[in-house]
Amino acid sequence: MEMTDLKTAIDDYTDAAENGILGLKDRLDAMETKMARPGDAGSLGSAASGDAFEHKHAFLHGFITKGDDSLLKDLEAKGLSTATGGDGGFAVPTVIDSEIEKQLRDLSPMRSICKVKVIETSKYTRLVSASVAGMSGWVGETTTDSTRPETTTPTLTEVAITPGEIYANAAATQRALDDMQFDAEAWLTEEVAEEFAAQEGTAIITGDGVNKPKGFLTEAAIGKVKTGVDGGFPATNPSDILVDLVHALGSRYRQGAKFVMNSATLAEIRKMKDADGNFIWRPGLIEGQPDMLLGHPVVEAEDMPDMAAASLSVAFGNFERGYTIVDRAGTRVLRDPYTNKPNVLFYATKRVGGAVVNADAIKLLEFAV
């Protein structure tokens, strides 16, 4: 087979594989959407005839639309539903909670690239080694082949992440709730997910860590590369500073690393060209494929600051290894038909935390001399 034919065959195989993966993803998304559809008993399979469907039906058609919590209380008594919280709210059924989580991943760019841990306890702890060299070595099969000197004692640092409480206060009129065509599940998941995503996205980037995630921009241990210009890129060869940023990150973290910036900063970078006059930014060639910058994906996060003097407007790193989001399992909802008549307020709460767990895995571009 000639080289041209071989290359064509490889390209065809690659395209087919990519299309197959995308098709599988679409089918999985469609299945998740169908499973979350209200009143669709068949979509829930065997669980629909058991506790999961009973909990969902009592929550949506009793508690949300009518304010009748008697069925939920009966489920509590049977041990089939999570108990109410101290403020009287009820746990969101697992099926609906999963849909909220899915929409959060779609709406929150940082959640899609960071590690997410779900916990059942009050906080998440992890030991991080602060030293690497001298902790290991090579030896033979037996002690006569080579000695096994003691390694240095590793320096371990405990990272503790305590979730803070995030809330959304969605509102609907009683007339809308009484409407037979009102899709209570879709409305609740969309309203709650959008509010959670907005608050969470800001906190993960710039949060002070008080009753909320600690943002990675506030982590002093993360290394920075300066542009050499207050509030902008160098006038000559501006893209070189992005190359410096990439190589400031250790090689073991570059695989899987991503750029993070807002759309205003990205607009400036998209205009940059290399020495041959080619744009350094590459659009995704397939739907759903990320845009690329210097061979790495670009994530747009509007909570990243605009370019200004001393701003940290561009981040580059392996966020899967550098930042951990902690979710306390379960979302709770409190129904309030009295505070703002004729509207019914639904006070939804969820406990979320986050912090940098490996500062070496993230680098920041500082627009300063």
- pLDDT tens digits for 249-272? 999 999 999 999 999 999 999 999
Question: For the domain 93-131+152-369, what is the CATH code?
Answer: 3.90.1690
Share of the chain above pLDDT 70, in %: 75
Query: How far apart are the C-alpha atoms of 160 and 185, rounded to whole Å?
Result: 35
- pLDDT tens digits for 170-220? 999 888 888 877 888 889 899 999 999 999 999 999 999 999 999 999 999
255 phi and psi angles, rounded to 5 deg: -70, 115
- pLDDT tens digits for 296-307? 999 999 999 999
5: three-class secondary structure by DSSP:
helix
Q: What are the domain boundaries of the chain?
A: 93-131+152-369
For the chain, where are the alpha helices, taking DSSP H only?
A: 3-35, 51-57, 65-66, 70-78, 94-107, 174-178, 184-206, 240-248, 251-254, 263-269, 319-322
Of the two residues 342 and 40, the one the predictor is more confident about is: 342
Q: Output 32-39 pairs: Cβ under 8 A, ≥24 positions apart.
A: 32/98, 32/99, 32/102, 35/95, 36/95, 36/96, 36/98, 36/99, 36/185, 36/189, 37/185, 38/183, 38/184, 38/185, 38/186
